[in-house]
Amino acid sequence: MNWYLKYRPKNIKELGLTSVRQTLAKLLAGPEFPHAFLLAGPRGLGKTSTARIIAQYVNCQTPQEVGVPCGQCPSCQLFKQKTVIDVIEMDAASNRSVDDIRQLRSAVGLAPSQLKYKVYIIDEAHMLTREAFNALLKTLEEPPSHVIFILATTEIQKVPETIKSRCQIIEYHLATLEELTQTLKQVAKTEKLEVTGKELKLIAARARGSFRDAIKIMERLAEKNKLNSQLLNQLAQTDNFIDQLSTALRDRNIPQSISLLDKLNGTSYPARDLIYQLEDRFNQLLSTYQQFSPKELDYYQQLVRILLEASTNFSEPISTYLSLKAALLNLDEGKSFPSQIPQENKKEMKIPSSIKPSLKSKEEKKNVNPHFTLQGVKKAWPKLAKSSLELNHGLKNILEAAELTSVEGNILYLSVAYSFQRDLLEKSHIRQWLEKKLSQLLNQKQVGLIISVDTSLRNKQARTVSKTRTSASRDSRLDILMS
């Protein structure tokens, strides 16, 4: 038997996802439990196992504790010997017609023959036809007390609201590295496999949040009571590239990020895995957001947007790599962040010691007009703010309240008090207009803007607004909503 089947969870305590374990423990604790469940989430996270556990638990005559069937009583024996006929598993992909559901409905009325509850497990429920859903709905509205429905789906958005509202929904999210490592540890222990924590992490990192994949990878690597070192090295090499890539991305070292993307692409590393890995690392990084400057935070937000977009728009692996690269080029300001991570974290994130300036920054330097200075920009700013009225009414107030922080090369750094103000300035037509206008006013060939949010400006703005309240100045936020 393959390991994934062998190590299928047999009670809710063995479920790998913490949130699912906790939700089920609450739902099953009382004497009354829901008669319709909808288990929703990606593959490989144990939805089918959960359904079977619920079916066995509600029928167990002497459960050990909440969510843990005894495994000994006559009902549990039926499950063990796979001779249960009152638990009906159907795959909606092949039983999706209204006739299938009608048949189900007429059978639902009949009392269970062996167990207390008849349990219907409908997998891939989103595949049912509309008519089939309507037929099912009638049963879900008034289910006989001896029936429990457990629907499972990977695409909850395709399940009609009317069905969802009658079910207790349990959501499955991709497993975290920690959850995967815990599950792998258990399997390794039972298989008497010698494996280090680092190796477990390496395998977990390749599993894209799926318990099934994690266990399969470990089984593939296992040789007697050890892991095959050659295969392990291959894993370690790509993992090292990803470490370097996340560090380069974090430091806004775009040239190096691009070159690492090429290396990974060269090892045929799946783009989907890459995005998952990066999302996981930036998710952790952003938890420590207090240590970043507004400029860095601004950049990370853009980066996360790019990753999220990539994870929702998967196409061929090569195009994912390509679109990532294209998006990153937009973030290249030819300059990396000085690293601010404490020493211990640095070791783990493997920060490259030398950060080479990109070609672009050298070129830009050549093109910089010596009169393009902070002072010069400040002087031209009121004029720019005034002419912005032609574009958008809310813009003038925002520009006047913005703080011009510095000019580096042909880049102007400025801060605004609120993120909605930054979002407005970053709208592409507005940003283009600002950059063009600035370049005209200051006779600078090309101007770039880096806009960050500085909350300390809020007090200052509040004071200005109260002073000018009488001069009919309208709230800039209102203007934006109207524009």
Q: How far is the CB of 75 from Zn ion (least distance, A)?
A: 6
* CA dist 78 → 9, 115, 253, 451 (Å): 18, 9, 60, 65
Q: How far is the CB of 56 from Zn ion (least distance, A)?
A: 7
Nearer to Zn ion, 74 or 382 (CB): 74
Q: How far is the CB of 271 from Zn ion (least distance, A)?
A: 46
Nearer to Zn ion, 77 or 345 (CB): 77
Binding mask 454-473 for Zn ion (x = CB under 5 A): --------------------
Interface stretch with Zn ion, choices 74-82, 181-189, 229-237, 438-446 (CB under 5 A): 74-82
For residue 74, count CB atoms less than 10 angstroms from its CB and return exposed for 0-12, middle for 13-18, buried for 19 or more.
exposed
Q: How far is the CB of 70 from Zn ion (least distance, A)?
A: 4
Report if residue 304 touches Zn ion, rule: CB under 5 A.
Answer: no
Interface stretch with Zn ion, choices 69-77, 160-168, 268-276, 440-448 (CB under 5 A): 69-77
Q: Would you give the DSSP letter of residue 65?
A: B
Nearer to Zn ion, 9 or 42 (CB): 9
User: Please, which of residues 165-224 interact with Zn ion by CB under 5 A?
Assistant: none
Nearer to Zn ion, 65 or 194 (CB): 65
CA distance 212 to 229: 22
CA distance 253 to 328: 10
Structure tokens at 373: 């200075």
Q: Which helix (H) or strand (E) holds 285?
A: helix 271-286
Q: How far is the CB of 11 from Zn ion (least distance, A)?
A: 11
CA distance 386 to 426: 19
Q: How far is the CB of 242 from Zn ion (least distance, A)?
A: 45
User: Please, which of residues 80-139 interact with Zn ion by CB under 5 A?
Assistant: none
Neighbours of 462 (CB within 10 A): 11
Nearer to Zn ion, 53 or 60 (CB): 60
Residue 216 three-state SS: helix
CA distance 121 to 480: 50
Q: How far is the CB of 57 from Zn ion (least distance, A)?
A: 8
Q: How far is the CB of 6 from Zn ion (least distance, A)?
A: 21
Binding mask 42-61 for Zn ion (x = CB under 5 A): ------------------x-
CA distance 279 to 276: 5
Helix residue ranges, H only, 251-270: 254-266
Residue from 25, 70, 327, 450 in contact with Zn ion (CB under 5 A): 70
| 200 neighbors 185 (Cβ within 8 angstroms) | yes
CA distance 41 to 435: 44
Interface stretch with Zn ion, choices 23-31, 76-84, 218-226, 254-262 (CB under 5 A): 76-84
Interface size with Zn ion, residues (CB under 5 A):
5
Report if residue 380 touches Zn ion, rule: CB under 5 A.
Answer: no
Q: What is the DSSP string of 347-405?
A: HHHT--S--PPPHHHHHHHHT--TT--HHHHHHHHHHHHHHGGGT-TTHHHHHHH-EEE
Report if residue 76 touches Zn ion, rule: CB under 5 A.
Answer: yes
Nearer to Zn ion, 11 or 210 (CB): 11
Residue from 25, 66, 73, 450 in contact with Zn ion (CB under 5 A): 73
Chain CA centroid to CA 304, Å: 10
* CA dist 160 → 42, 79, 92, 152 (Å): 18, 32, 15, 13
Q: How far is the CB of 93 from Zn ion (least distance, A)?
A: 31
Q: Would you give the DSSP letter of residue 2?
A: -
220-252 per-residue burial string, b: 16 or more CB within 10 A, e: under 16: ebbeeeebeeeebeebeebbebbbbbbbbbbbb
Residue from 41, 44, 69, 334 in contact with Zn ion (CB under 5 A): 69
Nearer to Zn ion, 20 or 53 (CB): 53
Nearer to Zn ion, 76 or 307 (CB): 76
Nearer to Zn ion, 51 or 125 (CB): 51
| 10 neighbors 71 (Cβ within 8 angstroms) | yes
Q: How far is the CB of 37 from Zn ion (least distance, A)?
A: 20
Nearer to Zn ion, 25 or 137 (CB): 25
Nearer to Zn ion, 76 or 447 (CB): 76
Residue 28 three-state SS: helix
Nearer to Zn ion, 62 or 443 (CB): 62
Q: How far is the CB of 78 from Zn ion (least distance, A)?
A: 10
Report if residue 68 touches Zn ion, rule: CB under 5 A.
Answer: no
Q: How far is the CB of 10 from Zn ion (least distance, A)?
A: 11
Residues that bind Zn ion (CB under 5 A): 60, 69-70, 73, 76
